[in-house]
Structure 1
Amino acid sequence: MTLTVSIRHQFSGFNLDITFNAGSGVTALFGRSGAGKSTIAQAISGAFAPMEGHIAVNGEVLFSTDQRVNRPAHRRGIGYVFQQDLLFPHFSVQGNLEYAQRYGRSGTGATNLSVVLDILGIGHLLHRRPAGLSGGERQRVAIARALLSNPSLLVMDEPLSALDDPRKAEILPYIERLRDHSKVPILYISHSVSEIARLADQVVAIDSGRVIKMGSATDVFADPNIVPQLGLQSAGALLTATIEKHEDDGLTKLNSASGPIYLPELDAEIGQTVRVRVLAQDVMLSTVQPENISALNVIQGRVSAIKFGRGPGAIVSIESAGNTILARVTRRSVQALNLEIGSSCFAIIKSVSVAPNQIGRG
């Protein structure tokens, strides 16, 4: 699947000028509030017509000012999941899902109901009404309803923003399963760094109506130049690792290309690939092999970039066996350690500093 978007629109005090392509899997549209994310989603779905541009899915033109094409929203074949679930309150869960099957896009490739029920874990909810569901359950039903409309693309616009943290933690594993097992490509729109780092294959980062960085999730989050858009508290790189062993003392040992990583016990099977986001503020640096320290994770690498901020801080990028680790330190520390591009150093990461919501399926 290929989604092609190139649109321009002038608002009062804001110009939108966006061009990007999205392939299979999950492509995340990331940016702070007001960056233009939802406007782009509305243009793709047909709820908004930009002044100029071109939108196509698999080569099928949905909107083009040059070709004078503006296909109505109901004929675009796009499934949409909103911030609010918008389920029909007078239908049961089964009724909501049957409605999608009855009035969705015709043609081959329709998603099987039993498969959707299994992926999203809602089979036991079929005879209940939306009013009797939790927020996370309602949103899972909303995702299922969008999938059963047989879309060529699923647009999820801030789908977890209305949920509290426990409900987000409940639903994220199901979206991971959807990503891994569904053939429907997903455009996932959010301002949450932790959600996108956990779910996205590709990231399109936007700011003030323009693309500022595009690439794999690993590459985007490893770029120190994007830290201002992420925010200092959220800056951090992604590591890919495989679960090797659950230790007797409550730790899980992971194997990564950069060496072993120990984290508090993970609820995952041996051999499973996971992605781990290590926040830059939780990384210490040393130019010598540290000894007699409490931190269990010590990764050796070389400095690949140093980005100084306006204040006393700096972001240091460490390359290690194909992985990138970001460290947030002070300008004084950079000078004291005599760090420069190519310097050998050790990144030190406490096991307990990696929160559960920073760990997801690979």
Structure 2
Amino acid sequence: MALEVMARAAAPIPLDVAFRVEPGELLALVGHSGSGKTTLLRTIAGLWRPEVARVTVDGTAWLDTAAGVSLPSHRRRVGIVFQNYALFPHMTAAQNVMAAMGTPEAGEAERLLELVNLIGLSDRKPAQLSGGQQQRVAVARALARRPKTLLLDEPFSAVDRVTREKLYGEIIALRAHLKMPVVLVTHDVNEAQLLADRMVVISAGQVVREGTTAQVMADPAALRAMGIREVAAMLPATVVEHLPDGLTRLDAPTGPLFLPTVEGVPGTRVRVRIMAHDVILSRARPEGLSAQNIIAGTVVRTVPGGGPGMMVHVAVGDHEILARITRRAAEQLGLHPGDTVHAILKSMSVARDHVARARNDDTSAPQAATPVPDAVSPVR
């Protein structure tokens, strides 16, 4: 049930974009305001038609300008979550969800609200719900259409940081019940890196870079297009134990990691975002340091920056850690591909919002899902 999109247009902004999203995959469209991200979502949903475009889901054309095919939006099995919730203020949470159904079913509405952790709140109106709760209702309503693809348009921008972090975890948990393509539009690079499997970076209607989050975040051209200077590596890890001193011990492909308290019981899988400027390199394993995380790896390549800086890619198993150091330091260390180095990371340098819960299949082969109709699995 893959989603394939191709769109070209001269107005309202120049647009020339193509991408594919696999079933169960979350693709993030990242770029500045006006880059064309939301226009692409509107194209998928049938709310806008480019001059030349093709949108297919599971091989069925929703839009094909060359063939004269253009299904109206109400006939496209698509769920959309907007940043402003767009709930009916006079309806309860359950009624808002049922409004999206062809045939309203109270039991199904309750099930969907339970899926998004709103048990016992079905009779409340939007004004009686917090921003995060309203956004959960919007997600449940999008799923009520039994969509073949789910579109998220800046869904977390209207809530505070603490609520946003909670919603990240809930979206990741929700994906365990979905087997449809999911497209997230965001300008928040941290959000994209924590939630997405792959990213498409768009600038002025053009694709600058497409790839896994690790590939995109290691690409200087993609970073410039996103307006950021700092690169980061993303490591999968598993919570092992919470220590009395306030640190959490994680098991990562790089070995044990010690970070400030990470939410989740032992066995919880997370993604850890490690900023390149927080990593120090040493030829020999250092002794007598306060840093709790010392990771042995192999230099893959060094990439000079535009100024005095240099990016060093360090392989650790199947993953990479990035270190931004000066050229002077690289020359003093005599770094070359194949050299063994030790990456040093202070525990306190990893911000709380740089750790997010991961799907259960994030670091292993995908788990078999119970097949259910219309791409939404039941809650157990």
TM-score normalised by length of structure 2: 0.88
Number of the residue aligned with 1:317 = 313
- In the TM superposition, 1:157-196 aligns within 5 A as 157-196=153-192
* Offset from partner CA, 1:10-48 (integer Å, 9 cap, x none): 137x52111111012212112232321111111111111
Match of 1:359 among 344, 355, 359: 355
Number of the residue aligned with 2:20 = 21
Q: CA deviation at 1:103?
A: 5.9
Secondary structure of 1:101's match? coil
Structure 1 residues 88 and 41 mapped into 2: Cα distance closer, same or farther (>3 Å)? same
Number of the residue aligned with 1:88 = 88
**Aligned partner of 2:120: which letter?**
H
* 2:206 paired with 1:210: yes
Number of the residue aligned with 1:129 = 125
Greater Cα offset, 208-217 or 18-27 = 208-217
Number of the residue aligned with 2:361 = none
Number of the residue aligned with 1:235 = 231
Number of the residue aligned with 2:215 = 219
Structure 1 residues 174 and 237 mapped into 2: Cα distance closer, same or farther (>3 Å)? same
Secondary structure of 2:262's match? coil
Q: Which runs of 5+ in 1 are unaligned?
A: none
Number of the residue aligned with 1:259 = 255
Q: CA deviation at 1:139?
A: 0.9
Structure 1 residues 255 and 360 mapped into 2: Cα distance closer, same or farther (>3 Å)? same
**Aligned partner of 1:116: which letter?**
L
1:222 touches 1:237 (CA, 8 Å); kept in 2? yes
Greater Cα offset, 77-86 or 224-233 = 224-233
Q: CA deviation at 1:255?
A: 1.4
Distance in 2 (CA, whole Å) between partners of 1:241 and 1:351 is 15
Number of the residue aligned with 1:6 = 6
- In the TM superposition, 1:291-306 aligns within 5 A as 291-306=287-302
Structure 1 residues 299 and 229 mapped into 2: Cα distance closer, same or farther (>3 Å)? farther
Distance in 2 (CA, whole Å) between partners of 1:318 and 1:226 is 20
Structure 1 residues 160 and 71 mapped into 2: Cα distance closer, same or farther (>3 Å)? same
Distance in 2 (CA, whole Å) between partners of 1:239 and 1:11 is 40
**Aligned partner of 2:277: which letter?**
Q
Distance in 2 (CA, whole Å) between partners of 1:230 and 1:305 is 23
2:208 touches 2:225 (CA, 8 Å); kept in 1? no
Number of the residue aligned with 1:329 = 325
Distance in 1 (CA, whole Å) between partners of 2:290 and 2:226 is 29
Q: CA deviation at 1:204?
A: 2.0
Match of 2:147 among 135, 140, 151: 151
Secondary structure of 1:245's match? strand
Q: Which runs of 5+ in 2 are unaligned?
A: 359-380
Distance in 1 (CA, whole Å) between partners of 2:31 and 2:174 is 23
**Aligned partner of 2:333: which letter?**
L
Distance in 2 (CA, whole Å) between partners of 1:74 and 1:164 is 32
Number of the residue aligned with 1:245 = 241
1:83 touches 1:162 (CA, 8 Å); kept in 2? yes
How many pairs does the alignment contain? 356
Distance in 2 (CA, whole Å) between partners of 1:244 and 1:281 is 27
Number of the residue aligned with 2:51 = 51
Structure 1 residues 163 and 349 mapped into 2: Cα distance closer, same or farther (>3 Å)? same
Distance in 2 (CA, whole Å) between partners of 1:234 and 1:87 is 37
1:304 touches 1:317 (CA, 8 Å); kept in 2? yes
Greater Cα offset, 63-72 or 323-332 = 323-332
Secondary structure of 2:91's match? coil
1:119 touches 1:174 (CA, 8 Å); kept in 2? no
Secondary structure of 1:334's match? helix
Percent sequence identity is 39
Number of the residue aligned with 2:63 = 63
1:157 touches 1:190 (CA, 8 Å); kept in 2? yes
Match of 2:276 among 277, 280, 292: 280
Distance in 1 (CA, whole Å) between partners of 2:284 and 2:164 is 41
Q: CA deviation at 1:74?
A: 1.2
2:110 touches 2:122 (CA, 8 Å); kept in 1? no
Distance in 2 (CA, whole Å) between partners of 1:241 and 1:256 is 4
**Aligned partner of 2:303: which letter?**
K
**Aligned partner of 2:287: which letter?**
E
Secondary structure of 2:100's match? helix
Secondary structure of 2:120's match? helix
